Amino acid sequence: MPLIAFTVLAVFVVAGIGGYVFVKRFVQARVDLIHRTVHGARSVGAGSVKAPNGDLLALDAEVSAWAGSKRSEVLELRERERFRREFIGNLAHELRTPTFSIQGYILTLLEGGLEDPKVNRKFLERASSGTERMVRIIEDLDLITQLESGVIGIAAEPMDLRKLVQEMMDDLRIPAQQRRVTLHNAMQDEVLVHADRDRLAQVLLNLLNNAIHYGKEGGSCTVRAFDIGEQVLVEVEDNGPGIAAEHLPRLFERFYRVGKSRARNEGGTGLGLSIVKHIIESHGGTIAVKSTEGQGTTFSFTLPAAR
């Protein structure tokens, strides 16, 4: 044991000395370079010798590289700060609407509406609806946080994607009929994927709901799947109004909306696509969107194939 301890100690000492020597030589080399450059510049100023162009170019290259790296860091920090400001502002806006509504209904009841049978139940139901909306926002935010931190694990197992898609379409039959949207499952045969059934159901419900509510009334939505080797590519396509190109890069951000007023009126939390993205990435897949205004939108994502 003493021999082992001594050996380990010796290794750390040697490594420390080696690291110190390396750093010292690196710093000294830079100092020498600066000294030579300054001396050369002074010599040029005195008219005695030519400037050491190699040293100047090397120093200029290092300074430029350093400035470039810092510039990238500054831009990244600015982008994070922009995202933070937008996120907090959007969150406050999303919570403000139901909060003010609940407050208004309760004040009306307290000021005499509670004794009016024509008013009290209706206002209580509206206040309850606002409360439920706030709860959905908080639950969705909590889900995203847990997915990001890895608290929620993905219980993946082999499953039939075609069967799950059909179940989700059956669940959405009534809202689809109300907007006369045709839901079509283009998978004719069994499609086996390795996925968490409940989480994948969230993904499909969200994408199909979007196609129904934000697509073209009287339009259609089709789900397809393609075998691409180790993965399965899934497409959810609608023939709705489409999405302008400037919105596509930010479509999966929290609270980002293409049609802000309409989405809020219909009760969406603005977090659905962000949740979809996190669930797909938790499966080791990727998600993308392509859209043409006036022609429709296609969301495509990958899942591990089950063999």
Q: What letter represents residue 5's amino acid?
A: A
Q: Which two tokens stand for residue 144?
A: 């995203």
Residue 196 gets which letter from DSSP? -
Q: Give Cβ neighbours of residue 270 (< 8 Å, ≥ 6 apart).
A: 90, 94, 254, 255, 256, 257, 263, 264
Q: Contact at 8 Å (CB) between 140 and 279?
A: no
Q: What share of the chain in percent tops pLDDT 70?
A: 67
Q: Contact at 8 Å (CB) between 219 and 240?
A: yes
Query: In the chain, where does DSSP find H-type helix?
Result: 2-46, 53-110, 120-149, 161-171, 173-178, 197-214, 260-265, 272-282
Q: Which two tokens stand for residue 202?
A: 């969230």
Q: Give Cβ neighbours of residue 199 (< 8 Å, ≥ 6 apart).
A: 154, 279, 282, 283
pTM of the model: 0.64
pLDDT of residue 39: 54
pLDDT of residue 176: 94
pLDDT of residue 261: 42
pLDDT of residue 147: 80
pLDDT of residue 49: 45
Nearest C-alpha neighbor of 194 from the set 303, 282, 301: 303
Count CB-CB contacts under 10 A for residue 203.
Answer: 29
Q: Contact at 8 Å (CB) between 300 and 233?
A: yes
pLDDT beneath 70, residues of the chain = 1-60, 63-64, 66-70, 72-87, 89-91, 93, 259-269
Count CB-CB contacts under 10 A for residue 290.
Answer: 15
Specify whether the backbone of 296 is left (phi greater than 0), alpha (psi in -120 to 50) or beta.
left
Nearest C-alpha neighbor of 305 from the set 214, 144, 192: 192
pLDDT of residue 76: 66
Q: What letter represents residue 147's amino acid?
A: L
